Amino acid sequence: MKFTEFNFHDSLQEGIAAMGFENATPIQEQAIPIILDNKDIIGCAQTGTGKTAAFLLPIMQHVLKNNHNGVAALVIVPTRELALQIDQQVEGLGYFTGVGSVAIYGGGDGSSFEQEKQALTGGTDIIIATPGRLISHLNLGYVKFDTIKFLVLDEADRMLDMGFYDDLIKIVNHLPKERNNLLFSATMPPKIRKLANQILKDPEEINIAISKPAEGVVQGAFMMYESQKIGLITHLLSARKMESVIVFCSTKKAVTQVTAALKHKQLKVGGISSDLEQADREKILRQFKNGEVEVLVATNIMARGIDIDGIELVINYDVPRDGEEYVHRIGRTARANTQGIAFTLITEEDQSDFHKIEQLIETEVRKLPVPSVLGETPTYAPHVRNFKGNKRFSRKRK
């Protein structure tokens, strides 16, 4: 279905065309008419399916069609990175419309808090906020949300995993009872159902390719010892020139170690974790997008909601905590029907967890040989309880 078939406002259609959007994705094709019809919705879709535009476009259409005064939509997201991404997409889609947005998130200084206050009291069309930061403003008593028509909960499962349930309920209690509620989540566990039952009214439900990596992702895994990981990553990045790579680590310590090791190899690398100031994180992201940084090393804050096209390779330095996190991580590549590669480094302690991931995605990921120069490696045997250093699970390279 082409975007021209939705009959959007001319200025909005102009922005869509300028962004290079022509054909709607499945989530957009199904969700947009429901939202335009003023119905609540639960959209269950994996990362990279275009759900941001699926809710932004109908909201912007409402603002233009009804000359909406005051805040029209509140979009709640789990991370500042996702807030910034959505804010940038509003800017692109709304370039010719005059529809504006403001991203509200923690980590800034006093001046940014004051700017956020002005947006909340001045009636910016779309407010995009992380729960904790918005609660800080609500507690001060000046926030007026009586004009809100849309509440959007994006990456709702992630927000609940981060412990934001009570904050979300508190925010909802500050909103008009008559509104449209749009909940988007990659998974639909019982806690999401509970939240949906409390907030949504007779929602339409859409399910798009849950818990499956994009078809364009070529997956592979290496069984190895922890001490061999840096050597393998260096080998992979040296063997083939790649200009856009993300290495995901599970800890801030690992990000620091991997970044330092790759810099020592003269690679154009940048590291992002929650230890960095927001301005520094945004700077590294800009450098990654424009090619100044070719390898981005990051914790899971990057796994969702970062819209960067053209990523050639994703490396899971650590096995993700669960299958959904794995899907989100490798979903950074092969976006918009392109091709990409995703490698995962598995230690003896990780193999049971990785096997569960394979069961979830219903795919046996190919185990690739580790270069012989790195020495002997463990054997992948997820069904056998193993112990570190057990030679029964090792093989020598000739």
Alpha carbon of 205 to those of 169, 224, 232, 393: distances in Å? Answer: 21, 42, 44, 47
The pLDDT of residue 309: 74
268 and 132 inside one domain: no
Burial 92-121 (b: 16+ CB within 10 A, else e): ebbebbebebbbbbeebeeebeeebeebbe
On the question of pLDDT at 14 being above 90, the answer is: yes
246 and 195 inside one domain: no
317 phi, psi to nearest 5 deg: -60, -40
What are 101's strand-pairing partners?
Answer: 126
184 and 243 inside one domain: no
- Residue 56 CA to residue 139 CA, distance in Å, equals 27
297 phi, psi to nearest 5 deg: -105, 125
Alpha carbon of 129 to those of 8, 122, 234: distances in Å? Answer: 26, 16, 38
**Kind and range of the H or E element at 291?**
none
In sequence order, what are the residues at sequence separation of 6 or more whose Cβ sits closer than 8 angstroms to the Cβ of residue 397? 372, 375, 376, 377
34 and 97 inside one domain: yes
67 and 174 inside one domain: yes
End residue of a domain, out of 178, 208, 238: 208
Name the band, by pLDDT with cuts 50, 70 and 90, for residue 166: very high
Q: Which domain CATH number covers 37?
A: 3.40.50.300
Give the chain's radius of gyration (CA, Å): 22
Domain that holds residue 222: 217-395
Inter-residue contact 266 to 241 (CB < 8 Å): no
- In eight-state DSSP terms, residue 342 is E
196 and 259 inside one domain: no
Question: Sign of the C-alpha dihedral, residues 119, 120, 126, 130?
Answer: positive
The pLDDT of residue 323: 72
55 and 174 inside one domain: yes
Q: What is the pLDDT of residues 185-199, one digit of tens each?
A: 877 888 888 999 999
Does 212 or 88 have the greater pLDDT score?
Answer: 88
- Residue type, position 375, single letter: G
Name the band, by pLDDT with cuts 50, 70 and 90, for residue 389: very low
- Residue type, position 64, single letter: L
Q: What is the pLDDT of residues 72-100, one digit of tens each?
A: 999 999 988 889 989 999 999 999 999 99
Q: How many CB atoms lie within 10 A of CB 281?
A: 23
Does 233 or 282 have the greater pLDDT score?
Answer: 233
End residue of a domain, out of 208, 236, 266: 208
0.85 cut: is pTM over it?
no
**Are β-strands 245-248 and 377-378 bridged in parallel, bridged antiparallel, or unpaired?**
unpaired
Domain count across the chain: 2
End residue of a domain, out of 208, 240, 263: 208
Quote the percentage of the chain above a pLDDT of 90: 59
Q: Which of 108, 101, 91, 146 is nearest to 128 (CA)?
A: 101
Inter-residue contact 74 to 148 (CB < 8 Å): yes
200 phi, psi to nearest 5 deg: -90, 155
130: which 2 tokens?
């992380």
294 and 356 inside one domain: yes
Q: What does the mean pLDDT of the chain come to?
A: 87
- Residue 9 CA to residue 206 CA, distance in Å, equals 25
131 phi, psi to nearest 5 deg: -60, -50
239 and 109 inside one domain: no
362 and 339 inside one domain: yes
In sequence order, what are the residues at sequence separation of 6 or more whose Cβ sits closer than 8 angstroms to the Cβ of residue 336? 48, 309
Alpha carbon of 308 to those of 119, 130, 322: distances in Å? Answer: 27, 21, 23
Q: What is the pLDDT of residues 136-151, one digit of tens each?
A: 999 999 998 999 999 9
153 and 251 inside one domain: no
The pLDDT of residue 252: 87
Alpha carbon of 273 to those of 13, 171, 383: distances in Å? Answer: 37, 27, 34
- Residue 392 CA to residue 398 CA, distance in Å, equals 17
Q: What is the pLDDT of residues 297-316, one digit of tens each?
A: 998 766 554 567 788 999 99
203 and 222 inside one domain: no
